[in-house]
Structure formats: C-alpha cells, structure tokens
Structure 1
Amino acid sequence: MLCLSLSVCSHLHLSIIHNLPEVTMQIIGLAPSSEWLNQTNNLQQTPLHIAVLTRQVAVVRRLVCAGASVDVCDQVGNTPLHSACCLGFEDVTKELLTPVRAEETYQNKYQIPYQRIPQDLETKNYEGLTCLHLTVIAGHFNITRRLLSVGANINAGEGKSGRTVLHLAADWGNIEMADFLLSYADTDIDAVTYSGVTPIFLAWGRKHVQLANYLFTKGATLDSLNGDSDGDASDEEMNIDRCAISQPRQIQSVY
C-alpha cells in the first residue's frame, strides 16, 4: 500500500511512486542531509519503504548509500527489510543487507551517519514477526537462506505466542520448509512456545500427520503429545481441544 493522500508525500516519495528513477536520483543528490531522506507519509513510510514496495532496486541502493535509515518502521511496524522479505524481493533484500562501501558515498554532499548493516534482524513488527518469520511464512527459501547467512536467529520466537520458524512451518504444514530449516544444525526441533508447545505437537494438532511423522524421524520428542507439557496451547497457536490427537505413539508405526 502506498500513499493514501498525495498531499502528505514529499517530492521524493512522488518521484518513486511514479517510477521516475532519473528524477529520483536528482532529488536524492540535492538532499541537504540524510535525515531529509527519512520523511514519512501518512502511512509512516519513508522513501526507502516506497522504493522497496515498488521494487526499484537501484533507487533502494542509492537511498541506503545516501544514509536513509534502514530501521524506520511504517504504521504496521515493518522496516523496509520486513517488506522486502514478505514480498519475496531477493534483489532488494540483498541491497538492504549489503554494507555500504566508501566509494558508494562519493555522490553525497554530506557525511552519512553510521548505521549497522546488516541491521538488527531480531526487530519485530507490530504483529510480533521478524523478517525471518515473514519469509518463512511466505515460503521464500532463498531469502531465508540469506537472512540466516547474515546472522538471523533461527530459534527466535515471534512475539504473540513464541513460535519459532520451525513452529510456523509446522503450523502451515510446510514439510519442505521444515526440512530446509532442519538442515541447519542450530535449529531446535523441540523448541517450545510460551505455553510449552513444540513443533511436532503443533503439526499433529493441525492434522499435518506427514509432517509430524517427519519431525519424529528427525528426533523430535513426543513428551508434549503425551501431555507432559506444563502449558496449555493458546488460541494463537491452536485450540487443542478441537484437535483429534489420539494415540500419538502411532506416529512410530508409519516407519
């Protein structure tokens, strides 16, 4: 979603929205400071947000090299990287995660402030989701791989119920994503949510039997399936009373 009212957009916002890269580059070149590049519209989007949403890769990189903040959140808490990951824009994600080189700043009329790139990958939007959570939910394998390569925490829990990315794959029944995540040695196959729910418990409760069987063969414990968990699954995770979880030990019989 872009500007709802053009009257609250800067000239820079407008040139990006209308896909005028030459004009956009000229405006960036006239910026008096990096702070000027961080003006927001009525959706709290900076020009960098707009460039990401419209997938203008060169503009994204120029803004980053001109000192535009990569950490500003829009009205739903998404940074530009959150948006790129959610939309599956691999090229944009790469530019946002690549540190700025000195030679890329020569066009600026000012010295850009230091900012950490790659940025804090544990930043959550207002739904409690990190960039890694969003890309796993959307099934973007290459972006998931890139985020993990630059330090994203594969076992970080989302903010509402504490589900890790493996929980999310189990929740959606995405066995391919689960297999991909378990190829990383750091993945905790028995990670628990705030209420003690493990990925295999969640998969079985969602009736993703094939995925539950797969997690079992990969070493997931069945304690939570047998009622050993101290917590009760929240509505955010699952309503366990409505799930048919009978004879969980039958998982073994499939193999």
Structure 2
Amino acid sequence: MYGVNSSLSGSSVADECAKIEARPIDSGFLSSSDISDSENFTSEQLSAKSEFSDYFVSGNEVVEDGNMKVDNRVYFLSESLSKIKVEGSCTNDLSSDKSATEDAWGKKNKGQFILQDEHGNTHLHLAIYFCYSDMAFNLIRAAISPVYLDLLDQDGQSPLHLAVATNQYQIVRSLIVAGAHPGIRNSKGDSPLHIAARLGYYNCCRAILEPVRREEFKSLCLSYDEVHYKMVDLEQWNYEGQTCAHIAALNCHIDILRLLMRCGADINAREGRGGYTILHFAIQNKMEKLAYFLLSECSNLEADVTTYAGKSVLQLGLPINTGLSRTLLLRGAASPYSSEDEDMEECEDEVLKRNNHLYLHNSLLNGCA
C-alpha cells in the first residue's frame, strides 16, 4: 500500500494502514502545506488579519497530520460544506425565479449555515477570513434570513466585522444589501464602521453608509424578498465612548471624516469619558492639519464647546501657535484664562493701584513735614 514501509511487520503494517484510513479526507480546499503561504493572501490582508483577528492564530489551531500541518478550521469548513446537498436545477441559476425547490433546499440545509466551530465561527466567518470571495457570496445568497448574517463568534465579531477588517468592501456591500446589521458591536464595542474608520478603509465606509438601491437588492438574488434595513447610527459610542468620527480624527483619516460629515455625523459631538470634541483631540495631539481642516471646511464647527470639566480648546494648558490661537478666539473659543482668573487679575491691579496711590500720598506728607 502507498505510504507504508515494506520493512514493517504484519501487525505494524495493519496499524499503519488503520492510521492512514482514519485520516481526514482532503476535500480539495487545502492547496498548500501552510495556509499562510497561500498565494491568495495579499500583504494588506495579512496585516489586517494579524491586527484584528489575533484569536484566529492560537497554538491549538494546527493539527499535525504526519509531516503536514493543517489548520483544523479548514477541515471544519470543507467537511461541513461537503454535507450540503444542492438539489434542483434552479438553485445556482441567479437569473431564475424563486421556486419551491429553492425553499425546500434552504430549509433542509439551514442547520449547516448556522453551524459554529469551537471559536463560534460559521462557514461565512471562515470563508470571509480566508478570502474565499466566491464562497462568501454564495453563502450570503443562500441564507434564508438576514438574522443568519449577524451570528457572532467568541469575540463578538459578525461576518461584517471580518469583511471590514480584511478590507473586502464588495463583500461588505453584499452583506449590507442582504440586511446585515451595520451597528452590531464586537467585544470592544466597535461596530464595523468603527473598524473601517480606524483602519482608514474608505471603500468599506462607503459600502456601509450608502443607501441600498432596489436594483442592488434584486441583483443579489437572495432567497428572501424583503429586508427591513437598520439605519447607521453615526453617534454610536464604542466602549471607549468614541464615535466613528472621533476614531477617524484620532487616526487623521480626514477623507473618512469628510465622508462621515457628509452623511450627517456631528462634528461637535463629545466623547464619553472626558467630553472631548474632535477639535479638542486635534489641539491635544498637536494635529495642526486636522485643526485647520476643521476650521476651514467645517462651517458648523462650534469652537466654544467645552469638556465635562468646562475647558475650551484654549484652556487645555497646551502650547498653540499664535495664528491658530487667534483663529480659535475669533471662532468663539474661550480665552486661555477663565473668568475667575481674569477677575482675580483685575482685583490685584486695583489693589496695586490703591497701594501706589497711598504710598505717594504718604511720601508727600512726610516730605512736607
């Protein structure tokens, strides 16, 4: 038998054969000995995965099969998908009308779409993570309800979170058109839009924010006829108390910040911890480019908004160049000195003047005497 050493004894040969027969069957999914070496991955996708999905690469993820190392999630994905039986000639015909055969097929295989591995990953999670775009599109079309597109893994990440994290904006758009919840949060409180704003993925932001057209919905050929879309909440906080606009500003993604403003984001919104606005962040982090963008392009910017401690941008105790400081004063920002400090200075000036007057008066009297 192939792969068995002829020098082994009869019992050893039998044992070895039993081990070989017990090995998982290669379904054709795995094309190389190491998944990270696959030509399907780009450096951008790999960097996004390493930054965002660290839980995917734990020490228990690799199964050693002889001399070959295999990610056991590929076994899960390939073996589970092989059990899905496609019946009816119209199932994969995207131009055909819906039929009873399609409905029966969807109900019969519903359990396969919501099946999760030990990390909470569904087939759709894994297809998106491994950048199997065609498979991801087919799984989106095969879902019998938008609810199945929002299943979360152990880190609270939906397929939409993963599609954004790997910058697959076409899949992001398909999920939005299919009815995936745009404001669903992961374990850090981040929505998919928070993630896109942090990583600077402009196309993913557009895919989430643009209204769905009827033509898009029809072209996707979903198994359901209607979706009740949820509005994107641009003022939604993550667990750090930050909106998407705050995150875009902190990472100096001005193009995304401009897009968020065009869609209705509040440029004067205060974050949840200290009440800082985007303008406060710009001054605190010495981001002059961001500050000049806010002052030049944002006509509705309110420079007089204060933090929860009652401090304006000029009262943070930070050095600001003269030109920017003058512009902020003209836009209504409170001066670096509080009213109490100014009152104290006026009182001190009056005391000094009174003392000087008394000193001069006493000196004159003493001189006359």
Task: Tell me the TM-score range normalised by the shorter chain.
Answer: 0.7 to 0.9
Q: CA deviation at 1:142?
A: 0.6
Is 1:152 aligned to 2:262, yes or no? no
Is 1:126 matched with 2:239? Answer: yes
Residue matched to 2:173: 61
2:143 paired residue among 23, 26, 31? 31
Q: Aligned AA for 1:215?
A: S
Instruction: Give 5+ residue unaligned stretches, structure 1.
Output: 231-255
> Where does residue 338 of structure 2 map in the other structure?
227
Q: Which of 125, 128, 133 is 1:13 aligned to?
A: 125
Give the counterpart letter for 1:51 in structure 2.
Answer: A
Structure 2: which 5+ residue stretches go unaligned? 1-51, 57-72, 74-117, 342-369
CA distance in 2, matches of 1:116, 1:12: 21
For 2:210, the equivalent position in structure 1 comes to 98
2:318 counterpart (199, 203, 206): 206
Q: Give 1:180's aligned residue.
A: 293
Offset at residue 3 of structure 1 (A): 6.5
Structure 2 letter corresponding to 1:197: K
Match of 1:77 among 171, 177, 189: 189
Q: CA deviation at 1:222?
A: 7.0
Q: Render the CA deviation track for 1:174-218: whole Å, top value 9, x for unaligned.
A: 11101111121111111101111111222xx233x22x6413234
- Name the structure 2 match of 1:247: none
Structure 1, 46-55 or 4-13: larger mean CA deviation: 4-13
Amino acid at match of 2:195: S
Cα distance, 1:13–1:227 mapped onto 2, change above 3 Å: same
Which residue does the alignment assign to 2:201? 89
- Normalising by structure 1, report the TM-score: 0.83
8 Å CA contact retained: 1:223, 1:229: no
Q: Against the structure 1 CA distance between its residues 222 and 13, is the aligned structure 2 distance closer, same or farther, given a 3 Å change threshold? A: closer
> Does the CA contact (< 8 Å) of 1:197 and 1:229 recur in 2?
no
- Tell me what 1:139 maps to: 252
1:4 aligns to 2:82 (yes or no): no
One-letter amino acid matched to 2:300: D
Q: Does the aligned pair in 2 maintain the 1:3–1:43 contact within 8 Å?
A: no
| Residue number in structure 2 paired with 1:216 | 326
Aligned amino acid, residue 200 of structure 1: L
Backbone CA RMSD of aligned residues: 1.8
Shift of 1:229: 7.0
The one-letter amino acid of 2:224's match is Y
Q: Which has the larger radius of gyration?
A: 2
TM-score by length of 2: 0.58
Q: Is the 8 A contact 1:84 1:92 kept in 2?
A: yes
Higher normalized contact order (CA 8 Å, seq sep 6+, divided by chain length): 1
Give the letter aligned to residue 183 of structure 2. Answer: D
Cα deviation digits, residues 116-135 of structure 1 (max 9, x gap): 44x11000000000000000
Single out whichever of 214-223 and 186-195 deviates more from structure 2. 214-223
Partners of 2:252 and 2:235 lie apart in 1 by 19
1:164 maps onto 2:277 in alignment: yes
Query: How many residue pairs are counted as aligned between the two chains?
Result: 225
Cα distance between partner residues in 1 of 2:334 and 2:183:
40
Give the structure with the higher percent helix: 2
Q: Distance in 2 between matches of 1:21 and 1:68?
A: 17
Matched residues, percent identical?
34
Matches within 5 A, 1:35-50: 35-50=147-162
Shift of the alpha carbon at 1:139? 0.3
CA contact (8 A) 2:312 2:333 kept: no
Shift of residue 63, structure 1, vs aligned partner: 0.6
Q: Which residue of 289, 299, 310 corresponds with 1:196?
A: 310
Shift of the alpha carbon at 1:225? 1.9
